[in-house]
Structure 1
Amino acid sequence: MLKAFRSRWQRWVNQRIPRADQRVFGQRSIFILPTGAGVVFTGLLLIMLITGINYQNSLIYLLTFLLGAVVVAAMHQTHRNLSGLELTLIQAGDGFAGDTIPFRLRAVSPRHDALAISLFCDDSQLEHQHVPAGQQHDMTLAIPSYQRGYLQPDRIRVETRFPFGLFKAWSWLRPVRSGIVYPNPLASPEVTSTVQDGEEQSKARSTDGNDHADIRPWREGDLSQRVQWKRYARTGEMVITDWEGEQGSPHWLDYEAFRGVGRELRLGYLAHQVMERARNNSRFGLNLPGQVIEPDTGAAHANRCLKALAIFGLEQPREGAPLPHGTRSDEVGHRSPKPSVVGEGRV
């Protein structure tokens, strides 16, 4: 019963407050209710009124009506404090999974000061923000992320309890813009790219009996299929075979190089490699199924690669299907990414 009521309430709110990166709060979008302190205060006024009626005491009447007028004035002031406030999402940030993603908002109150404004989004909060009349006030709300992908908050709650805390007025901003959550970087094993410079298409190089091989000791992180298990059983020495025929271009970070590894783990490995190459200012390209980013250098190139890893295999959030905290659910579904090329020379 309660779950059904909440579902109907959420649908009603979503219809009344559609998604938008900018909202001006007015009569139709502001809600107001007494706080716990307001309920207790109203109860005390009722007791004082009953006492005044019982004893026919004019001073009790006077005090009761004066305090009642304060309650009514506080209610109007609390509503007015939020009325006319314009809130705009001007930047949705990015970061790695597990970090807090900054969402930068700008508030403008054209007619009067907006005092003690608070923002909430699940476990994140930003309290006691003051917006002077006619001036812009920028605020940053840090929202936690848990998995890679799009981070689109379902609702950012805007609330005020000014002046006396007897009432709370609130509304929501339901942003359209999404933050980007990069995969959590994971130290990758030593693998070789399957991409060669100058190839028309990304492909794996075949290994045959004529290829030369290098033998080296096993290191943590090496793939188990590269271990010479027969030699290990015979001598107890665990070694790895690196085939010359498997060597691709060192300028490419390749999704297909991590064979036998799950998608999320591959993306974590690639994110770590991107960060390492960017730290060393090395030239590199990124090869993903359906997308190729040509080799380049610089922070902008690294950010483009990290974004490609973050949204790989995911759809842009739409109305009615938010993806909070960068998570992905089977109910939403995944579509294969459409082939695209960033740069020149590859299809």
Structure 2
Amino acid sequence: MNESLKSPEKWLSERFRRWIDSRSPRSHRIRLNQRRIYIVPTGYGFFWLLMVLLVFLVATNYSNSLAFGLCFFMLSLFQISMIHTWRNLAGITLVVRGAESVYAGEPVPVNLECLTEGRQRFSILMGWPESEMVSASFSHEHEQSLLAPEEQRGRFRPGRMLIKSIYPLGFFRTWTWVRLDCHSLIYPAPEEGIPLPEGNCGKGGERSLVKSGIDDFHGFRGYQETDSPSHVYWQGFAKTGELLTKQFDQPVGRELWFSLDQVAGYDLEKQLSILTGWCLYCERQRFSYGLTLGTQKLSPANGAVHLHKAFELLALYNVDDSDER
């Protein structure tokens, strides 16, 4: 058999997935309505119906009015439970308030706001089946933090999130799948402990810089009124009567360029992880560093903003932006 041919189970699974996705497009604000919510009886619900049938057969066989009343009461309770179970999810609006950027392989914290239309909601489970589900009950606007499963490097596009409930009696299970649109990134996992590359200040090179500062003693100069009293050479003034000011040099650090050529021999993800580790090391050492990835270039600098730009460049390098989940 040709391996390119899909099995019926896989074909049906993909068709069902595409159908679910067409009913639940990715969005940062999602309202749960009748188009999105599914409901079926639970095992306990089917058992309840079986009991209703048995009571009905007994009532019919013995013409027992009390048994008929019990049968109809049990059936009414079953139907009313279906309505309340569905209404427990209906009308909830989910708003994505943010998702943190993390390293590849780490769970992603996602912050949601649940709007309820002023109705009390009970025992609602939400989350991703691959991670821990969270149970919540709320009556007004509710902030909920969830952990999405680990993702690969690139833009964070979480898989389908499950929201379900069996409230109030457990006769029915209602659920929905939603696809959240979160604006965050998954950075390459940093590879620490790899020595920095050696070379000149060109590609992958480095350069040492020095400026006036307070670290290393350099010499003396004439006193100026704006000089700090702590830098005045008072011992010399006591001997010669001349005011002198101490001068110091402060190394600014090293300026480095990083590129994939410096980590040849590894696969792409390993290369990006090494570059990420180098960026973190330079940031801790206050070195200026730049990146060259293909046609993209980031000029040397340091600081939190520069580190974020470097991580963004590394996270999105050679990434397919198509949404397949």
Q: What is the TM-score normalised by the length of structure 1?
A: 0.71
Query: Which residue, out of 72, 76, 79, partners 1:69?
Result: 76
Partner of 1:184: 189
Q: CA deviation at 1:267?
A: 0.8
Q: How far 1:123 sits from its partner (Å)? A: 0.9
Q: Which amino acid is the alignment partner of residue 312 of structure 2?
A: K
CA contact 1:116–1:127 (8 Å) conserved in 2: no
| Equivalence for 2:57 | 50
Residues 317/101 of structure 1: CA separation in 2 closer, same or farther (3 Å cut): farther
Task: Give the 3-state SS of the residue equivalent to 1:110 in structure 2.
Answer: coil
Q: Structure 2 counterpart of 1:292, which letter?
A: K
Query: Residue 289 of structure 1 aligns with which residue?
Result: 294
Q: Which residue of 2 aligns with 1:25?
A: 32
Aligned to 1:138: 143
Query: Which residue type is aligned with residue 192 of structure 1?
Result: P
Per-residue deviation at 1:178?
A: 5.1
3-state DSSP of counterpart to 2:33: coil
Report if the CA contact (8 A) 1:85-1:114 is conserved.
no
**5+ residue gaps in structure 1?**
206-248, 323-347
Once the 2 structures are TM-superposed, how far is the Cα of residue 96 of structure 1 from its aligned partner?
Answer: 1.3
Alignment of 1:262 onto 2:262: no
Structure 2 residue aligned with 1:105: 112
Over residues 148-203 of structure 1, what are the superposed CA-to-partner deviations in whole Å (9 max), with x where a residue is unaligned? Answer: 2233123112212111121111122222335422212213533426673xx6xx58
- Structure 2's unaligned 5+ residue stretches are 1-7, 207-253
Aligned residue among 316, 319, 322 for 1:314: 319
Does 1:272 find its partner at 2:308?
no
Deviations 1:45-101 (A, max 9, x none): 211211221222222222222222211111100111111110122213221122101
Aligned to 2:256: 251
Shift of residue 108 of structure 1? 0.2
Q: Does 1:78 align with 2:90?
A: no
Taking the aligned partners of 1:32 and 1:103, their CA distance within structure 2 comes to 26
Q: Cα gap change, 1:48/1:180 in structure 2, threshold over 3 Å: closer, same or farther?
A: same
Structure number with higher relative contact order (C-alpha < 8 Å, ≥ 6 residues apart): 1
Residue 305 (structure 2) aligned to one of 276, 285, 300: 300
Structure label with greater radius of gyration? 2
2-side partners of 1:46 and 1:279: how far apart?
Answer: 72
Partner of residue 41, structure 1: 48
Change (3 A) 1:105 1:193: farther
The DSSP-based 3-state class of the residue aligned with 1:124 is coil
- Equivalents in 1 of 2:308, 2:108: separation in Å? 15
Count of aligned pairs:
271
Structure with the larger strand share: 2
Which residue number in structure 1 is paired with residue 102 of structure 2?
A: 95
Q: 1:286·1:293 contact (CA, 8 Å) conserved in 2?
A: yes
> Does the 8 Å contact 1:191/1:257 carry over to 2?
no
Q: What displacement does 1:144 show?
A: 2.1
Quote the offset at 1:117 in angstroms: 1.6
Separation (CA, whole Å) in 1 of partners of 2:56 and 2:34: 32
